[in-house]
């Protein structure tokens, strides 16, 4: 992020001093008040000063090295400043971001450029003020003192005394102690009345089987299921049944709430713990654990899906305070060296193809051995049970099976053969027998360096070993032979280096950005053989995949029309240099042989088409307006802010994906015709989708960025009406007509309510609705010169430019237009 000049910094600090009410409050917080993300920033305090609301700095290794901040609530009177609630864990705020209390949206967090990072959701009514009380609950209030939003109703990983957790509510862990992004553990109060702990398969929200349960669900033996979790003022916690009975989460004696702070937190490693801390502000004591669940998280019932408590191929053992410790077996290393609780990978290649090559060097007995573990194992991932079998037979079977990565020998006669990745690894004293992990007899990392690239500028470990080997050889031979050997080595390095440079020129230097190069085999395995298709279009088919670190990806396998090397290089170069919050991010690529693939981030909330036309309840008006503005900003970036101008040519709801916050993200933009900044138009074949295609495609007119403006106008009408321009057989008024025609007739006849049928939220601000409709009609003008640029569209959406009444969008078809659109007659 660009640094502020000394003068700007001085002005900013003077402004804070002159208007302290905007940054500090120990009572009511008025509409318009705000806080700014800077070091030592003041905060909004509860009346007693027990809790503070504001920005907390996070480690500076994120956001390109700049300092970032977390909008949060914390204990302000103890040295640890323990955070109990946070808003933007997945999107840390850059320095000088602001959180503002607004009258219509409540709290709004924006970065220094005005981009919205987070806001309080589901605000119905007009905000008059806000407050943070001495229980740690931040409240946004309306004119009749009704609560419009409360932080207690939107919990993260912590419960505080007087807070409840109702059915369908949950706590989510953070990713690590210092990373506040969503983690893989949940505490959920199910609709059945049961309180459970479970893992989820990130980045989705799919919940695996619980590893802890209170057993308070409705079943044949009980007529009164759990109603909610209560953490009362005294510090006691229990599941309250519908008949008023209480099922306490622990029988431990709870110290006085008048002398101790209490909190219940779901830690990043999946353990639910109640902590206490002395209230004496002079005390330097730490939080004390009262109780935790489960007692042994490692040996809790394993789940059939997901990695388990630790990552894949990792093994869990119990540490202090019932907290898990994770580790990699011998010959395995962490996939992410900074995540000790993450997945492990073998530092050698284990595959049938590699085994075939290695057999030329010797027998399987010469190549592999086993690491033995007792009272430990990975209870899932088996693909074969051999029984009855001896231990020697089990070893031999796994040794000669190229798919076998490990085997569990149990009960003296059972052999469970397992494949990678191994999941739910654990140390368990109750496990008998042995667990055998197949590993190479010698270090094979030299043959695997290309599989796990090392960043540029670092000496590879195997290069270091080569120099040691050369040195020991030189010092042990004659001078003459040394000269010959040195000459051979120099020639060899020159030859290898030339080959490497040639390879890099055709692979790595295809892109000028920091994209990862994937092998076809990696993507084949990640997509399970391109099994799950999630979308297709004229440029290719998209498949869902999962990488070895459990991260989901979307893999676009390009059709033959896009497989020419020059076109592919251009596409990857341009996409790799784009970066905007409203564009789907490209992670990497593959151009192996005739295969051309692009690897994108996977967005779990699907397409805008599914959101708008699913047949269920309409998304909120505010959400739709937010999505429309985001798409406009993304198009503005493609048209005017990229180093290479991009015309998308196929803007439609199916090409708009939604991230975790339902921000609209444009996809497929790299597959369109690309223009240099000094070009104004291009002549090309028709591209796009029926209903969204601009008229100039059919009239042999120059194709400019205005074709995207036209498509955006159609899309904006769809967002307003929650109705597809392609029509349907539904019986609603106007469904049989073309959307643009019907919408314009409704507008000219003063029937805006028909466009947002039944949407009281949309009708509550009729001026806003009218402006959006007029912007859409400006965009779909048949004459491209009348259409605004996306920059002006964005300004109109933001309210920075007044929206004028548009002319009839259809004047060019005058003979037809006067019949279909009597309202267009005489309009210029």
Q: H or E element: which one contains 546?
A: strand 540-546
DSSP single-letter state for residue 176: S
| SS3 call for 222 | strand
Under DSSP, is residue 91 helix (H, G, I), strand (E, B) or coil?
coil
Q: Which of these ranges, 464-473, 484-493, 542-551, has the smallest mean pLDDT?
A: 464-473
DSSP 637: I
Find the domain containing 499 and state its range: 453-506
In a domain, 299, yes or no: no
DSSP 302-324: PPSSS--SS-TT-EEEE-GGG-E
User: Tens of pLDDT along 370-419?
Assistant: 999 888 888 888 899 999 999 999 999 999 998 999 999 988 889 999 99
For residue 314, being part of any structural domain is answered with no
- Tokens 């001495």 label which residue? 134
CATH number for the domain spanning 535: value is: 3.30.200.20
- Residue 547 and residue 445: Cα distance in Å, rounded? 21
Residues 593 and 614 in one domain: no
Residue 228 included in any domain? yes
Whether 311 maps to a domain, the answer reads no
pLDDT at residue 727, rounded to an integer: 64
What's residue 471's pLDDT?
A: 37
Compute CA distances 570 → 510, 520, 577, 601, whole Å.
8, 20, 11, 20
Pick the last residue of a domain from 392, 426, 445: 445
Quote the strand ranges of 472-522, DSSP E: 516-517
Q: Is residue 383 a part of any domain in this protein?
A: yes
Cβ atoms < 10 Å from Cβ of 285: 12
Is-contact 237 229, C-beta < 8 A?
yes
* pTM strictly above 0.85: no
**Cβ-contact 794, 629 below 8 angstroms:** yes
Q: CA angle at residue 183 from 582 to 320, to 5 degrees?
A: 160
Q: What is the CATH number of the domain that holds 127?
A: 2.90.10.10
570 within some domain: yes
Residue 457, pLDDT score: 32
**Could you identify the residue written with the tokens 């609209």?**
664
Please tell me whether residues 636 and 520 are part of one structural domain.
no
pLDDT of residue 445: 36
- What pairs with residue 69 in β-bridges? 57, 93
DSSP lists the bridge partners of residue 675 as 645
Rounded-to-integer distance, Cα 266 and Cα 268, Å:
7
User: Does residue 365 share a domain with residue 250?
Assistant: no
Per DSSP, 638 falls in state: I
What does the mean pLDDT of the chain come to? 80
Helix 790-798 vs helix 766-779: angle between axes, to the nearest 10 degrees? 170
- Domain of 787, CATH number, reads 1.10.510.10
From the list 434, 433, 446, the residue with the least C-alpha distance to 406 is 434
Q: Which of 69-78, 427-436, 801-810 has the lowest mean pLDDT?
A: 427-436
CB 21 within 8 A of CB 32: no
Per annotation, catalytic residue among 111, 157, 591, 650: 650
Cβ contact 475:469 at 8 Å: no
- Using pLDDT thresholds of 50, 70 and 90, give the confidence band for residue 436: very high
pLDDT exceeds cutoff 90 at 283: no
* CA 392 to chain centroid: 46
Does 781 map to a domain? yes
Q: Tell me what the mean pLDDT of segment 811-820 comes to.
A: 46
CB 327 within 8 A of CB 314: yes
Classify each residue of 414-430 as buried b or exposed e, where b means 16 or more C-beta atoms within 10 Å of its C-beta: ebbbbebbbbbbbbbee
Distance separating the N- and C-terminal Cα atoms of the chain: 47
DSSP structural state of residue 583: B
pLDDT at residue 820 in the model: 46
Instruction: Write down the pLDDT at residue 64.
Output: 44
At residue 574 the predicted structure's pLDDT band, cuts being 50, 70 and 90, is confident
The mean pLDDT value for 436-447 works out to 66
Tokens of 5: 């000049």
Which uninterrupted H or E stretch holds 454?
Answer: none
- Three-state SS across 350-393? CCHHHHHHHCCCCCHHHHEEEEEEECEECCCCEEEEECCCCHHH
Structure tokens at 684: 């090309």
Please, what's the b/e burial string for 652-668 (b: 16 or more CB within 10 A of its CB; e: otherwise)? bbbbbbbbebbbbbbbb
Q: What is the CA radius of gyration of the chain?
A: 31
Residues 288 and 375 in one domain: no
Alpha-carbon torsion (768, 771, 777, 780), positive or negative? negative
Do 473 and 573 belong together in one domain?
Answer: no
DSSP single-letter state for residue 455: P
531 in a labelled binding site: no
Same domain, 643 and 670: yes
Task: Report how far Cα 170 is from the mean position of its chain's Cα atoms.
Answer: 19
Among 602, 632, 661, identify where a domain stops. 602
CA gap 222, 34 in Å, rounded: 51
Nearest to 814 by CA among 802, 801, 827: 827
Residue with tokens 């005058």: 814
Average pLDDT, integer, range 328-345 = 88
281, two tokens: 């502000």
Tokens of 595: 């295969």
Residues 138 and 72 in one domain: yes
- The total of structural domains in the chain comes to 6
pLDDT of 362: 67
- Is 42 found in the same domain as 168? no
Q: Please indicate whether residue 660 is annotated as part of the active site.
A: no
* Domain closes at, from 246, 261, 294: 294
431 lies in the same domain as 547: no
Indicate whether 762 and 653 sit together in one domain.
yes
Q: Nearest CA to 312 among 334, 280, 337, 282?
A: 334
* Domain-located, residue 305: no
Q: Say if residue 41 is preceded by a cis peptide, omega within 30 of 0.
A: no
* Cα 328 to Cα 316: distance, rounded to the nearest angstrom: 9
81-126 per-position pLDDT tens digit: 899 999 999 889 988 899 999 999 999 999 888 889 999 988 888 9
Is residue 777 within 8 A of residue 713, CB to CB? The reply is: yes
The residues, ordered by sequence, that sit 6+ positions from 609 with a Cβ below 8 Å of its Cβ are 652, 653, 654, 656, 724
**Shared-domain flag, residues 324 and 433:** yes
Q: Is the peptide bond before 294 cis (omega within 30 degrees of 0)?
A: yes
In a shared domain, residues 344 and 230: no
Reading the block at residue 495, the tokens are 């030859």
């Amino acid at each position: 992020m660009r640094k502020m000049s000394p003068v700007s910094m001085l002005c900013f600090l003077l402004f804070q001093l002159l208007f302290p009410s905007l940054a500090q409050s120990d009572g009511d917080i008025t509409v318009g008040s705000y806080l700014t993300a800077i070091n030592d920033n003041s905060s909004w305090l509860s009346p007693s000063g027990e809790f503070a609301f504001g920005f907390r700095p996070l480690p500076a290794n994120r956001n390109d090295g700049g300092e970032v901040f977390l909008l949060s609530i914390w204990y302000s009177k103890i040295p640890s400043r323990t955070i109990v609630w946070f808003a933007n864990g997945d999107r840390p705020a850059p320095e000088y971001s602001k959180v503002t209390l607004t009258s219509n949206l409540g709290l709004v967090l924006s970065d220094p450029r005005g981009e919205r990072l987070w806001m309080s959701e589901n605000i119905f009514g007009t905000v008059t003020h806000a407050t943070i009380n001495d229980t740690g609950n931040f409240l946004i209030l309306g004119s009749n003192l009704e609560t419009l939003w409360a932080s207690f109703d939107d919990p993260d990983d912590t419960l505080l005394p007087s807070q409840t957790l109702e059915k369908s509510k949950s706590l989510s862990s953070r990713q690590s102690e210092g990373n506040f992004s969503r983690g893989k553990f949940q505490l959920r109060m199910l609709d059945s009345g049961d309180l459970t702990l479970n893992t989820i398969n990130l980045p989705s929200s799919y919940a695996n089987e619980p590893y802890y349960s209170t057993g308070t669900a409705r079943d044949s033996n009980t007529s009164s299921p759990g109603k909610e979790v209560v953490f009362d003022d005294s510090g006691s916690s229990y599941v309250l049944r519908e008949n008023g009975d209480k099922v306490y989460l622990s029988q431990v004696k709870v110290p006085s709430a008048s002398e101790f702070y209490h909190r219940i937190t779901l830690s990043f490693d999946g353990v639910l713990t109640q902590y206490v801390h002395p209230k004496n502000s002079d005390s330097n004591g730490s939080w004390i654990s009262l109780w935790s669940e489960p007692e042994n998280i490692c040996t809790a019932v394993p789940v059939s899906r997901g990695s388990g408590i630790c990552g894949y191929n990792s093994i869990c053992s119990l540490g202090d305070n019932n907290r898990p410790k994770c580790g990699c077996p011998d010959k395995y290393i962490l996939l992410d060296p900074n995540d000790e609780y993450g997945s492990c990978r073998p530092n050698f290649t284990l595959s049938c193809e590699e085994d075939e090559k290695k057999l030329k060097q010797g027998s399987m007995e010469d190549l592999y051995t086993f690491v033995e573990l007792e009272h430990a194992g990975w209870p899932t991932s088996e693909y074969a049970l051999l029984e009855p079998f001896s231990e020697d037979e089990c070893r031999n079977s796994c040794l000669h099976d190229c798919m076998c990565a490990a085997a569990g020998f149990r009960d003296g006669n059972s052999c469970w053969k397992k494949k990678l990745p191994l999941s739910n690894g654990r140390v368990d004293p109750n496990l008998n027998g042995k667990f055998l992990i197949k590993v190479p007899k010698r270090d094979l990392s030299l043959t695997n360096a290309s599989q796990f690239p090392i960043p540029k500028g670092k000496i590879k470990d195997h290069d270091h070993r080569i120099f040691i080997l050369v040195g020991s050889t030189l010092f042990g031979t004659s001078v003459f032979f040394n000269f010959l050997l040195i000459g051979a080595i120099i020639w060899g390095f020159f030859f290898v280096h030339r080959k490497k440079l040639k390879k890099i020129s055709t692979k790595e230097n295809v892109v000028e950005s920091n994209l990862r190069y994937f092998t076809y085999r990696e993507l084949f395995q990640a997509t399970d053989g391109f099994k799950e298709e999630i979308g297709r279009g004229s440029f290719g088919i998209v498949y869902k995949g999962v990488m070895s670190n459990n991260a989901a990806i979307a893999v676009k396998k390009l059709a033959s029309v896009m497989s020419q090397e020059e076109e592919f290089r251009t596409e990857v170069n341009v996409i790799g240099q784009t970066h905007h919050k409203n564009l789907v991010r490209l992670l990497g690529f593959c151009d192996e042989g005739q295969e051309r693939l692009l690897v994108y981030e996977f967005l779990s909330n699907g397409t805008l088409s599914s959101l708008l036309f699913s047949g269920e309840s309409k998304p909120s008006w505010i959400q739709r307006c937010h999505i429309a503005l985001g798409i406009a900003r993304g198009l503005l970036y493609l048209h005017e802010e990229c180093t290479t101008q991009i015309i998308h040519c196929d803007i439609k709801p199916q090409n708009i994906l939604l991230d975790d916050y339902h921000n609209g993200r444009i996809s497929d933009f790299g597959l369109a015709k690309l223009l240099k900044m000094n070009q104004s138009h291009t002549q090309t074949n028709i591209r796009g989708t029926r209903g969204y295609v601009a008229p100039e495609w059919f009239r042999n007119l120059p194709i400019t960025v205005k074709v995207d403006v036209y498509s955006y106008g159609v899309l904006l009408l769809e967002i307003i009406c929650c109705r597809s321009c392609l029509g349907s057989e539904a019986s609603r008024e106007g469904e049989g007509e073309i959307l643009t025609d019907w919408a314009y007739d409704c507008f000219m006849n003063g029937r805006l309510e028909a466009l947002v049928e039944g949407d009281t939220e949309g009708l509550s601000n009729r001026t806003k609705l009218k402006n959006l409709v007029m912007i859409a009609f400006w965009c779909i003008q048949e004459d491209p010169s009348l259409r605004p640029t996306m920059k002006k569209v964005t300004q109109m959406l933001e309210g920075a430019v007044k929206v004028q009444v548009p002319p009839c969008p259809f004047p060019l078809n005058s003979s037809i237009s006067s019949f279909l659109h009597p309202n267009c007659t005489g309009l210029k």
